[in-house]
Amino acid sequence: MTQTLDRPGSDVGDRVASWVSAFQDALTARDVDRAVSLFASECYWRDLVAFTWNLKTVEGTDQVADLLTTVLDNVDPTNFAVSGEATSADGVDDAWLTFETAVGRGTGHVRLVDGKAWTLLTTLDELKGHEENQRENRPFGTEHGANPDRETWKEGREREAEELGYSRQPEVVIIGGGQGGIALSARLRQLGVEAIVVEKNERPGDSWRKRYKSLALHDPVWYDHLPYIPFPDNWPVFAPKDKIADWLEMYARVMEINYWGSTTAESAEFDEAEGRWTVTVQRDRGNGPEEVVLRPRQVVFAMGVSGKPNKVEFPGMDRFRGVVQHSSEHAGPQGYEGKKIVVVGSNNSAFDICGAAWEAGADVTMVQRSSTHIIKSDSLMELALGGLYSEEAVKAGVTTRTADLTFASLPYRIMAGFQKPAYDEAQVRDADFYQRLRDAGFDLDFGDDESGLFMKYLRRGSGYYIDVGAADLVADGRVKLAKGQVAEFTENGVRLDDGTELEADLVVLATGYRSMITSVADIIGSDMAERVGKVWGLGSDTTKDPGPWEGEQRNMWKPTQQQNLWFHGGNLHQSRHYSLYLALQLKARQEGIDTPVYALQASHHAE
């Protein structure tokens, strides 16, 4: 039974208030031993910029002691206080907190077990004196009175477009103009940081427009808002790709993002003495490409989670008389009605492509090369997301920010334990569905530790599908299933390693993507890429995520081994949430605020 703090003196309220008071007293006294004594022996402190100028999780009391010993004097944390109502369930007290540091204000969350901290989250919300230009800090918008030299808003935007990158250099260049680059640019603009988004596609959203025509978001609307402008209340639960593309284009225009479309970043070199980059781009403003040299202090790669398409080269591809496409090149099955299509892979893209091809009247075969995790969309929403991201959560007063921080309050080390019950329940609830797939010969998994979709995604695992209907086509044989590895292409199709031959007019390789660092290396050079190391993954020693354990997403949203080089991206949720913390780090550096980084990530396992 959950107990809430709805009156002074309630037990849970007293316990939490006592802990917070003791914690602040120990911090004020700079008494690290006393502060550490308030943590359980198994404990996790996740900090998003506020204490560490990093995204860092420390585990156990020894690491908590090291963090506090290193940063306490510089951070000078004050005014820790409980915000709202504390609650208690299953022996765990939890509460939201507010606090201040020497340079900012933050939000925290604590979970107590037997009066000691099991998990602690601290996040930086804003920098003192450099708050976002919103609400009480919003711009006035006009100049009242008479002024013969008045510049209108439109004239100011036109002047900015002509000057920025030419006669005036931006503070930040963001390479990549999908949802990640757009969200970060919007954050930076609200903080007064000039940025240019460099994107090879012509318009915001074109990276969505150019995908296969049946593509739609598999995440629900409540999970996918961008900063500042949420989707309207009539937005579909699962938005089609072209609707998302239109939204991104509108968003970039309304948020006044300096978006350089039809622009390709060719190289980026860093001058350590000057502390600036030389970024050479080819920009086409309608009259053909022109070379432009940008000189920002900070460069952010916002190219999603993935890099180059993993277009596997199989023997015999040169003699195949049909067409071979990677899923990133596949626009849809039009023109293949009544023809044979083989899709190599069994992930989200593979299922989407197979479903669209079957609907178009093609003869479709899916080649499953390894086991796949499948979760039905309605089960994902109700069992895994519903408490935080759903219409019911909205009605209960759970804001997007609260949902994001609640999710962030779970350290990655223990997140699987929180995720697993939902996927265990899904296996019971959808037992008939899963049995039909197994009976069809489909190999299923729920991740290395049965913790399901999110952990697979966070660990760089591929091979998952949020089912929106195409799995039934495989289960009942309308989409044929073949299993094994592609040994070679023949003139008429593909041959698998067991000798099975599949005829094809079109072969779609839904074989995923390589790490983001593979694309970045083409711009910054292999030496710098090697120094930075692997991007994404936790180091969990699970499939496709070798150790050592990092405890946070490698190199994402935080300082890297290359000065002034950053990475941003992920799904819409991550683009929204983490863009704030990256923007605050960039703003602090622009303003000359001291930003000593605690526990900079090593560059192990470069790709």
pLDDT digits (tens, 9 = 90+) for 355-399: 999 999 999 999 999 999 999 999 999 999 999 999 999 999 999
Over range 307-312, report the average pLDDT. 81
Whether 484 has a pLDDT exceeding 90, the answer reads yes
Output the pTM of the full model: 0.95
More confident residue, 603 or 78: 78
Give tens-digit pLDDT for 572-605.
999 999 999 999 999 999 999 999 999 999 986 5
Whether 544 has a pLDDT exceeding 90, the answer reads no
Encoding tokens for residue 309? 């398409």
245: Cβ contacts below 8 Å, ≥ 6 apart: 203, 204, 205, 206, 208, 209
Over range 61-90, report the average pLDDT. 97
Give tens-digit pLDDT for 14-42.
999 999 999 999 999 999 999 999 999 99
Whether 44 has a pLDDT exceeding 60, the answer reads yes
Residue 598 resides in a domain:
no
Give tens-digit pLDDT for 250-268.
999 999 999 999 999 999 9
Whether 1 has a pLDDT exceeding 80, the answer reads no
Judge if 21 and 123 occupy the same domain. Answer: yes
Asked if residue 468 lies in contact with residue 343, where contact means CB atoms within 8 angstroms, the answer is no
Distance CA 188, CA 587 (A): 8
Classify residue 317 by burial, with Cβ atoms within 10 Å: 0-12, 13-18, 19+.
middle
What stretches of 26-65 adopt beta strand conformation (E)?
A: 39-48, 55-59
What pLDDT score was predicted for residue 461?
A: 61
Residue 527 resides in a domain:
yes
Residue 141 resides in a domain:
no
Whether 462 has a pLDDT exceeding 80, the answer reads no
Q: Residue 89's domain is classified under what CATH number?
A: 3.10.450.50
The least confident of 50-64, 330-344, 345-359, 508-522 is 508-522
What pLDDT score was predicted for residue 606?
A: 45
Judge if 278 and 350 occupy the same domain. Answer: no
Distance CA 226, CA 248 (A): 9
Q: Residue 160's domain is classified under what CATH number?
A: 3.50.50.60
Over range 116-136, report the average pLDDT. 97
Over range 556-583, report the average pLDDT. 97
Tell me phi and psi for residue 260, to 5 degrees: -95, 90
Residue 544 resides in a domain:
yes
What pLDDT score was predicted for residue 519?
A: 87
Whether 209 has a pLDDT exceeding 80, the answer reads yes
Whether 121 has a pLDDT exceeding 50, the answer reads yes
What pLDDT score was predicted for residue 5?
A: 36
Over range 292-319, report the average pLDDT. 90
Whether 305 has a pLDDT exceeding 70, the answer reads no
Mean pLDDT (the chain) is: 94
Whether 472 has a pLDDT exceeding 80, the answer reads yes
Asked if residue 449 lies in contact with residue 420, where contact means CB atoms within 8 angstroms, the answer is yes
Judge if 351 and 491 occupy the same domain. Answer: yes
Residue 139 resides in a domain:
no
Judge if 300 and 380 occupy the same domain. Answer: no
Confidence of residue 210 (pLDDT cuts 50, 70, 90): confident
Residue 239 resides in a domain:
yes
Whether 142 has a pLDDT exceeding 50, the answer reads yes
Distance CA 555, CA 603 (A): 9
What pLDDT score was predicted for residue 155?
A: 95
Q: Among residues 127, 145, 168, which one ends one of the domains?
A: 127
Peptide bond into 309 cis (omega under 30): no
Q: Among residues 73, 107, 127, which one ends one of the domains?
A: 127
Judge if 358 and 478 occupy the same domain. Answer: yes
Judge if 341 and 431 occupy the same domain. Answer: yes
Judge if 494 and 385 occupy the same domain. Answer: yes
Residue 540 resides in a domain:
yes
Judge if 454 and 340 occupy the same domain. Answer: yes
Over range 422-442, report the average pLDDT. 97
Neighbouring C-beta atoms of residue 134, cutoff 10 Å? 10
Alpha-carbon distance values, 374 to 44, 424, 474 (Å): 31, 13, 12
Confidence of residue 308 (pLDDT cuts 50, 70, 90): confident
Judge if 267 and 245 occupy the same domain. Answer: yes
Task: Provide the residue range defining the domain that includes 285.
Answer: 156-307+514-590
Confidence of residue 452 (pLDDT cuts 50, 70, 90): confident
Over range 207-223, report the average pLDDT. 89
Asked if residue 323 lies in contact with residue 492, where contact means CB atoms within 8 angstroms, the answer is no
Over range 100-104, report the average pLDDT. 98
Judge if 439 and 566 occupy the same domain. Answer: no
Give the count of domains, the chain: 3
What pLDDT score was predicted for residue 10?
A: 65
Q: Among residues 498, 513, 528, which one ends one of the domains?
A: 513
Peptide bond into 289 cis (omega under 30): no
Classify residue 137 by burial, with Cβ atoms within 10 Å: 0-12, 13-18, 19+.
exposed
Which of helix, strand or coil describes residue 47? strand
Judge if 86 and 204 occupy the same domain. Answer: no
Distance CA 69, CA 30 (A): 9
Judge if 270 and 331 occupy the same domain. Answer: no
Q: Across-strand partners of 95?
A: 110
What pLDDT score was predicted for residue 123?
A: 99
The least confident of 44-58, 257-271, 456-470, 579-593 is 456-470
Residue 607 resides in a domain:
no
